[in-house]
Structure 1
């Protein structure tokens, strides 16, 4: 699997991270399937207020409106546009998933929520402009797998 990260989405994330400083922030990521096993991130939600220096837990109710709005903008074309997963920052730590991150994502794809797979994107801003990322794929009954994240030098359109 490969995840494309367009320039406009990257710049929007960078702005949120600059404002948050050393607090962890995050939300959900929404995307477009452009080819088999190739997805473009086209939007994301962000909670800039509830994170701390070392923790971020997304409030599902708060981000469900962002997903509803996304589906309205994309004509509810669920085969092409859909929820991809979760993202958050690790401003003070490496961009690898913590044990808490791993458990939360495994719970998400355990079969009870109807999510067949989910991507976890972890980001960190270094030196005010350089971004570091990790991306992991979570599928029920499988171990998490690192996946490719490619900076796509275009503006996402949907």
Structure 2
């Protein structure tokens, strides 16, 4: 699987992350399927107030409204535009998923979430603005696997792997 990460999405995330400083923040990620196993992140929700230095749990009701608005904007073309998964920050830790992250995402795909797959994007800022991230794919009845992230910058001559 490949996840395309546009520079405008990174810019918006960085602003929220900078404001949150050492608190974890996050939400849902929504995107577009470009090709088989290739998805572009188009939007995300963010709860910038409820996190602590080492924990983030999103308020489902608030984020569901953002998802509903995303579906309205994209013409309810669920086969093309849909929920991709979750994102949150690890401002004081590596961008690797914690055991708590893994358990929560496995529960999402294996049990309570009712989704066949979900991506977990974990981000952090280094030196205030340098964006670092990782992504993992969670599938029902499978172990998580690392996702290839490709940074998209419409103004750059080349695009880079993260």
Length-normalised TM-score, structure 1: 0.96
Distance (Å, rounded) in 2 between the aligned partners of 1:114 and 1:94 = 29
Does the alignment pair 1:139 with 2:143? Answer: no
Residues 16-35 of structure 1 aligned to structure 2 (within 5 Å): 16-35=16-35
Distance (Å, rounded) in 1 between the aligned partners of 2:111 and 2:22 = 34
Provide structure 1 residue ranges, at least 5 long, that are not aligned to the other structure. Answer: none
- Structure 2 partner of 1:61: 61
Task: Note the aligned Cα RMSD (angstroms).
Answer: 1.1
Q: Which runs of 4+ in 1 moved over 4 A?
A: none
1:57-107 per-position Cα deviation (integer Å, ceiling 9, x unaligned): 112111000000000000000011000000000000001101110000000
Greater CA drift, 104-113 or 58-67 = 104-113
- Structure 1 partner of 2:128: 128
Provide structure 2 residue ranges, at least 5 long, that are not aligned to the other structure. Answer: 156-162
Distance (Å, rounded) in 1 between the aligned partners of 2:7 and 2:73 = 20
SS in 2 for 1:82: strand
Structure with the larger RCO, 1 or 2 (CA within 8 Å, 6+ apart): 1
Residues 91-106 of structure 1 aligned to structure 2 (within 5 Å): 91-106=91-106
- Structure 2 partner of 1:72: 72
SS in 2 for 1:109: helix
